[in-house]
Amino acid sequence: MKRFLLTLLALVPLAGLFTGCTTVQETGRSQVMLISPSAESQMGLQAFSQIKQEEKILKDPAVNARIQRIGTRIAAAVGRELPDAKWEFVVFDAPDTLNAFALPGGKVGFYTGLINLAESDDEIAVVMGHEIAHVTSRHGGERYSQNLLAAIGGAAVAIGTKDDKNKELYLLAYGAGSTLTTLAYSRSHETEADAVGLRFAAKAGYDPRAAVTFWRKMAAKSGGGEPLKWLSTHPPTGERIANLQRLAVPLMPVYEAAKAR
């Protein structure tokens, strides 16, 4: 265990040579980042390559062209180049899967189940904006950094606890606390991605109000069953919809100006 801790501690200053405290450009929120953008992108590229091998890729040219068109407009609305980004939009043929994702390196995946539920380009665009916002805000790298720090903290507790009889209890308490903290960060990431992604969609000429109609469909699909807020990685759907309604109002002029171009 001591060797494990020393190894982790050695990684922190090494990571610090490449990065440190960063800021989410669109919100100004500070982040602790223990992974470089290039390393983060490489991890995203590897993960996307594996997903494409494991999932069935849709062959329908019309659906693929639609997602490519929407994705290209959202990526352009980001307004800056992302490190090592080579944008790629892939549709996976899974009618029962209500999911979409974006990975560092500009890799975006959409499942046909979500496309069929969303129906309109506006609804697809707000989902696309949300997923791309996770990448621009470097939420994956932030979670990686949080997990690394949690691992170091857990190892320190294990080594620093001389009372072997109570060591397991201390570790359990630490693990529960760090897990709840990580869940809270995940919820804040989702809320931040909603705010940033909705702006991307509006700037690309898509109606930000579509986020409300989309999440109402998602709520109906789920039947209202949700875990307790503090045990979930996502904010409660009702809370999320109310926040999206509030966010959409000041973005309407942005949307109307982009649509008029």
Active site residues: 131
Closest alpha carbon to 204 in 140, 136, 126? 126
Per 3-state DSSP, the chain is made up of helix, strand and coil in percentages (nearest 5) of 65, 10, 25
**CA atoms in the 13 A half-sphere facing the CB of 129:** 31
What gap in Å lies between CA 199 and CA 208, rounded to an integer? 8
Task: Output DSSP code: residue 104.
Answer: T
Q: 17: buried, middle or exposed (CB in 10 Å: 19+, 13-18, 0-12)? A: exposed
Q: In what order do the strands lie in the sheet with 107-111?
A: 88-92, 107-111, 100-103
191 with 235: CB under 8 angstroms?
yes
**Which H or E run includes 100?**
strand 100-103
What gap in Å lies between CA 147 and CA 245, rounded to an integer? 33
